[in-house]
Structure 1
Amino acid sequence: MDRQSAHWMKREDERILEFLEEEGLSTASLISREVFESVSMGHVRERLHMLAGAELVGSLTTDRTHWELTQAGQRYLDGDLDAENQPRPRLGRVLRND
């Protein structure tokens, strides 16, 4: 499985995607506690918003607290999707959490 990440992706992104694949549904808080020793919930939340901008994860709630892996995210993890070809997350939207 040869994953093709996008230039904007960070090391934490794959671990977030893998956790969502295993768990099916999660929050930034749970991901921060269960996956990372020294990554804050705020940073995980920021990464989730970036991944959502690229359509690799989706939020199940209007307040964007519960997240799941999308079909595109699963295809990325399977090595069948080049993340560089996904929509590019817009930083302004991520910072505003839109």
Structure 2
Amino acid sequence: MIKKSADWLVQEDDQILEYLSREDPASWWQIAHDLHLSGRLVRSRLRVLANADWVAVDDRGDLDDHWSITTRGVGYLAGYVDAELIRPLPAFRPPHATRPGWWAGFG
């Protein structure tokens, strides 16, 4: 089957998912090193893929987190999941990055 892509996906997402399907689980730096991608790009794309529930993170405390592909991610690679029907949820803005009400004229 052919993968059903979407406008929110980038080329590196497929590379990351395919890597995780082979080398599951892996840290972001392993993925970046093995795929010759920037660490910043890999970390940001992993967060997007996690918001879409295509990868899951194993929080290991002080150690680097390990990422693994989910059933939905495997389904996308196999062509069973249409990426257009899934939208990754944006992360909440932390309080220190939010402008006060008076800034927008609300307060």
TM-score, normalised with respect to structure 2: 0.77
Question: How far is the alpha carbon of 1:94 from its aligned partner?
Answer: 8.2
- Preserved CA contact (<8 Å) 2:60 2:66: no
Contact preservation (8 Å) 2:54, 2:72: yes
Aligned 1:68-87 pairs, distance under 5 A = 68-87=68-87
Residue 59 of structure 2 corresponds to 61
- Give the CA deviation at 1:81: 0.4
Distance 1:84 1:5, change over 3 A: same
| Mapped partners of 2:29, 2:93: distance in 1 | 18
In structure 1, C-alpha distance between the alignment counterparts of 2:22 and 2:14, rounded to whole Å: 12
Deviation >6 Å, runs of 4+? none
What is the alpha-carbon distance in structure 2 between the residues aligned to residue 80 and residue 94 of structure 1?
A: 30
What's the counterpart of residue 28 of structure 1? 28
**Structure 2 match to 1:46:** 44
Q: Return closer, same or farther for 1:78/1:46 CA change in 2, 3 Å cut-off.
A: same
| Identical-pair percentage | 34
- Structure number with greater Rg is 2
Contact 2:3 2:82 in 1 (8 A): yes
The AA in structure 1 aligned to 2:48 is M
Aligned residues: CA RMSD: 2.0
Gaps of 5+ in 2: 95-107
